Each structure stands twice: as C-alpha cells, then as structure tokens.
Amino acid sequence: MTGKKAARIIPIIAQGKAASQAAGKLEFRHPPPLSLYVHIPWCVQKCPYCDFNSHEVRGEVAHGVRDSIPEADYIAALIADLESALPLVWGRKVSSIFFGGGTPSLLSGPALDKLLTAIRTLLPILPDAEVTLEANPGTVESGKFAAFRDAGINRLSLGIQSFNPKHLKALGRIHDDHEARRAIEIAATYFDNFNLDLMYGLPEQTLEQALEDVESALAFAPPHLSCYQLTLEANTAFAAAPPTLPDHDRCADMQDAIEVRLAGGDNSAGFTHYETSAFAQPGRQCRHNLNYWNFGDYLGIGAGAHGKLTLHDRVLRQMRWKQPKQYLAKIAESKPIQDEFSVGIPDLPFEFMMNALRLNQGFDAQLFEARTSLPLINIENELRRAEREGLIERHQQRIAPTNHGRHFLNRLLEIFLVESG
C-alpha cells in the first residue's frame, strides 16, 4: 500500500492451531473477568459488506418476528448450550452480556425475556452487569424496545452506518435516513445508555459527507459512538463486485477529522477516544468490549459463536456450529462445539497484543503476565523493536501504542506474530 497513512487499521485474525503449541506449562491462579456473548444469526437482508455469521430470513413479518425464524427452538437451544458449558465456568460471575448478530432485535420481547431469565438462573450475574443488544433501525418498534428494557437490556447498539440516503442504499441497508433518526429517538426514550455505529470510507463518500454523518449523530447526544472504516472482506458481495471507494489518503483524512471532531481537544464533542474505533462520553465506555481488549474471558453461545476461557493450565478457544440448522441439530445431539483448541504458548503474546494494543491508553505490564501466565521478559526483544520503530511507548509499567502505532496497527501486531510451520 502507498499513501501518507496507508495500511490503516485493518483487523488481523489470529488462527490458533494445536500444532503451534510448544513444550511448557501455564499456571493461572486467578481467571480474568467473564462475559457472555449470545449470537442471533438471522437478519432481514444480508448487507453486501458483511462477513459476520448472519443469515437472511424469508417470510412475512408477524408480531415483529419473521415467521421463518425458529424462535422458540433457538431459545431452547441457547439455554441447552449454556447448560452444557456450565462446568467450564463454575463459580465465576458474569460482568457483561452482549446479544450480537445478525439482528438480535428480530427477537420478540417474550423470547428475550425467557432467555435472560434462564441466563440469570444458570449464571451468577453481577448486579451492575452491562447487558447490550444490537438493533437494526429497520426492525425498530417502540413497544418492542420497551419489552427489551423490561426484560433486562440496559444498553442498546444501533447499526446506523450513515444518515445519507445515497450511502445507505449503496450499503444495502434496509432502513432509510428517516427511519435511522426515528430509531435513535425511540432508543433514547427507553435507554439512557446507547451506542450508534457509523461507517466512513463509503462508496463515493467525501470528507464533508463523513463529517455530516458525525454531526447528525451528535445531534442525538449519544453516550457512545463507534466509527469504522468500510473494508472489503472476503466472501462478501462487495468482494465479488467491489464498489468505488475513497482512496487510502482520503480515508485517512476522514479518520483524522472524525477523531478531532469527537475527541480532539477544547473544540471537540467531549468524547474519549479509548479504543481504535470507539468513542465514549465519560464513564460510558462499552464494558463488554473493554473485557475483550483486556484479554478477558467470554463464553460464546449460539450459532457460530466464539469463546475464550482461561482454565487453570491453558487458554481455551471454542467455536459453535455455524449454520443455524446444523447448530440446532447438534444441540439436540448435545454436541454444540464445532472446534476447540488450546492456544499455543508461543501464540499467547500475539493474541494478547492483538486485543490490548487496540486500547489507546495501552495496558499495564502486570496485565500481560496475569492474562498469559508468561513473564514480560519473553517479549522484550519485540517490545524494543516496536519502540525503535516508533510504534509503542513505555512509561513506567504502562505500554501503549503511539499515534503512529495506532495508525499502522497491522505493522505493530506483526512484530509479535510467531510464524508456525
């Protein structure tokens, strides 16, 4: 890539392999905080940029739920899935719950209430636990949001993406700009804690249009904003037929301008830019995502859900069966896990860094040892190399990416990547 700020933040996904494990022994005396992730795999329409495990439903809307969603069977399967996982998390308290998708807001209020009641029965949930549900503006109904709140949802995340009709159409969204604004108004009525997702670097988008989307969002005084650059992911409609996107320099300018507007100083909107793509008003950081970035544990249930659990002698990765029909069938056989492996000792530093270096304030050196069971000296050479390249800075015990490191996060992470073979 070329350009003044090319190779911006493009996620790197670590593929753990059993073959990468080296001789050695881990010992975890205290497990990290635990979150619960629940995947709802259906959506009304598959967006052309989406590479998440989401599946388009068909049928007419009946009482706010697509009739082709096997809602009752899926809720029963999620409960059975959770019950089967309990031996791995006995005695551990859950600090946050996140319903992701797909479009979790396709669920009915009674179904969500039944599921949350079962979760509370099976797991000890902290009294102040953050419970987030993702919603699509095209599936918003006032009565449904009230039911979600009554069921125990206390944070909502709305996938707005843009307020520009042309860009919403280009993204294949099922809502228009009027529905986006109406959805936010309804969300703010029932939830004092909500997030708005925005995207930039959209087809034929200008810098001015990207900032107009930010200003439109700010008019609703959101406690939290997530601003992502549109990227072309493999196995998506956009990858097969790529749209014309702004070049890397223009996207870099958009990112810089958004960061300055939201968190750039005296004239900014007063947000804290605490993570690569996340901005929050004071005290409104997403606790669930912070647990991810601090390499905490999360139990994932539902079709295609991933999980990471720290046991006394290893870090365990799990993935549930991806296809909804297959997931339901495997749950009936009491076999919810499609893939499971222990993260190899050589891979743990990279996996930790892949998460922790997304935090603008970085991490405390002691956290590395607590989450990996490895001494920090094991990666001293890599840390020094990153320092020499101006990608990280160290202040006493804190290690954080520099502004250069945040803009070239892929390059920074590659330093900690161990080649297997």
Span 257-303, pLDDT tens digits:
999 999 987 778 999 999 999 999 999 999 999 999 999 999 999 99
Residue matched to tokens 């700009």: 177
Which amino acid appears at position 102 of this protein? G
Residue 357 lies in a domain: yes
Residues 367 and 263 in one domain: no
Residues 229 and 141 in one domain: yes
Q: What is the span of the domain harbouring residue 381?
A: 353-421
Query: How many helical (H) and strand (E) elements, i.e. helices and strands, does the chain have?
Result: 15, 19
Residues 92 and 215 in one domain: yes
Domain boundary among 270, 291, 312: 291
Residues 398 and 272 in one domain: no
For residues 40 and 302, the answer to whether their CB atoms sit within 8 Å is yes
State yes or no: pLDDT of 49 exceeds 90: no
Close Cβ partners of 157 (under 8 Å, ≥ 6 residues apart): 132, 133, 134, 135, 194, 195, 196, 197, 226
C-alpha distance from residue 328 to each of 82, 280, 304, 331 (Å): 13, 37, 11, 5
- Positive/negative CA dihedral, 183, 188, 193, 197: positive
- The CATH number covering residue 370 comes to 1.10.10.920
Domain boundary among 291, 326, 345: 291
Task: Please state, as a whole number, how many other Cβ atoms lie within 10 Å of the Cβ of residue 58.
Answer: 9
Residue 285: both structure tokens together? 């950081």
Residue 58 lies in a domain: yes
Max distance between CA atoms of the chain, in angstroms, equals 60
302: left (phi over 0), alpha (psi -120 to 50) or beta: left
Q: Using CB atoms within 10 A of its CB, is residue 340 exposed (0-12), middle (13-18) or buried (19+)? A: exposed
Residue 215 lies in a domain: yes
- Beta-strand pair 34-40/297-301: parallel
Q: Count the alpha carbons within 13 Å of 69 in the hemisphere toward its beta carbon.
A: 28
Which residue, 270, 311, 228, is CA-closest to 30?
Answer: 311
Residue 311 lies in a domain: no
For the chain, how many residues are written?
Answer: 421
State yes or no: pLDDT of 64 exceeds 90: no
Residue 22 lies in a domain: no
Q: What is the pLDDT of residue 326?
A: 97
Q: Using CB atoms within 10 A of its CB, is residue 145 exposed (0-12), middle (13-18) or buried (19+)? A: buried
Q: How far apart are CA 228 and CA 161, in angstroms?
A: 9
Q: What is the pLDDT of residue 138?
A: 83
Span 81-96, pLDDT tens digits:
999 999 999 999 999 9
Q: Phi then psi for 417, rounded to 5 degrees?
A: -85, 125
Residue 142 lies in a domain: yes
Q: What is the pLDDT of residue 267?
A: 77
Residue 12 lies in a domain: no
Q: What is the pLDDT of residue 15?
A: 42
Span 202-221, pLDDT tens digits:
999 999 999 999 999 999 99
Residue 184: both structure tokens together? 């936010």
Quote the number of domains for the chain.
2
Close Cβ partners of 77 (under 8 Å, ≥ 6 residues apart): 327, 328, 331, 332
Q: What is the pLDDT of residue 6?
A: 29
Strand partners, 29: none
Residues 58 and 149 in one domain: yes
Residue 244 lies in a domain: yes
Domain boundary among 291, 307, 340: 291
Which amino acid appears at position 223 of this protein? P
